[in-house]
Structure 1
């Protein structure tokens, strides 16, 4: 192989590296050497340079692979004298000229990671309902009255209760038997309990909980504004165009969202609906 050696050594290190490099290659300048060499010879040269290296030693070896192409093989000593391709800078500064940090728009990347992790742990709690388990066994064929992610949302809402973010996170990090025995009693069961409060309105004092609740309830589908005041017996479907949505109505749209935004709800009997909340 044909190699090019560049020395950026200073003081006594320059004298020592010149002595070694002169034995293996011909000078092409005061700090440059070039020669054809075998791999064994190159390994020997590198070992000698390493053995005599000082704090002022800096030698880069380039493999000349073609007329217009070379490849950095190694650097012995102070690598800061060269860039990643082995070139020698004409000027150096410690100032942040590139300011690459200014181009980073993921300043909240860790927060996103933590929120996603919490939502991932909570999003399928609703599958513990009797209705979902019966469906897995083929014992329930009807259309979902309440989807499992909506039940998961209500369970999370019940756990948070009236706490702010600091308090419910503390309870989550330090569980107690007394708390475990009581929070499920706060569960709001759509279709059974009257009245029920929209979950995001209930969580208004805990914006972090609202964000997690949004991730939980939207992991399969986004909420859709339902048709209001449908005529009895008329066929409605989730996603049907509605006329009541206005700019004013969208001001606090999360506080309006109820179970009907997640799935079309029918007035089933209490025994049937109870399966979704047991």
Structure 2
């Protein structure tokens, strides 16, 4: 049996309901679609559903447990191999082992069938709403996080976040390419920044981080370092410490930019000024000598 009618309206939730009890399928579809909140496709076999339906296109899946060919847990495992669509196991078996196995394999909810169809489908509808709402919130968070990471990776500034004990929790691409170009983006988070630096500047940075406090959570530091090619670079870092309500450090956020060109110009100007001053002194000395000779 297969019932996959017209596509759901924009504000409807699309539900795939799979069970070998055809009478229960009919009652469940009728009840859930009564409020026009859900659009329900029904199938009597998990194998049929996997062959004929784009599983991940549904807002949620409701499945029985004991079914011929493939039971509800096996069906759940296959669904989870392809995505996170909400899955509710709806079964007459109430044993604890089935519940634990369902949850351990990624089921969002477990609903036991009962004698009162009105009550059991009202509970099922409630759990579908909860599962769909949670899944959409997770998807939104993932999209926001991806946008945030993309934004940070597009910045030319170097960005790194640390725990209070120096464990890197986030870096952007500019930071990786500057300090650890041979490592992949996923190889650096979870490592200790101070151990990776392994030089005397680590102690300087630790002292600088320890100087931050709730009254002075932000400071700037200038840093000079030599890359693997022996070239000298200058950077300016804005360092922010985040504190909890008990004034305990919870995170450091560091944003750095390269000021090498600015520093080179500054050094060149300083040297030029020194030469000019020296030349002025020499010229003044020569003039005084000539005056002395003339007055001789």
Q: Which has the higher helix share?
A: 2
Structure with greater contact order relative to length (CA < 8 Å, sep ≥ 6): 1
> TM-score range, shorter-chain basis?
under 0.3
TM-score scaled by length of structure 1? 0.23
TM-score scaled by length of structure 2? 0.22
Q: Which has the higher strand share?
A: 2
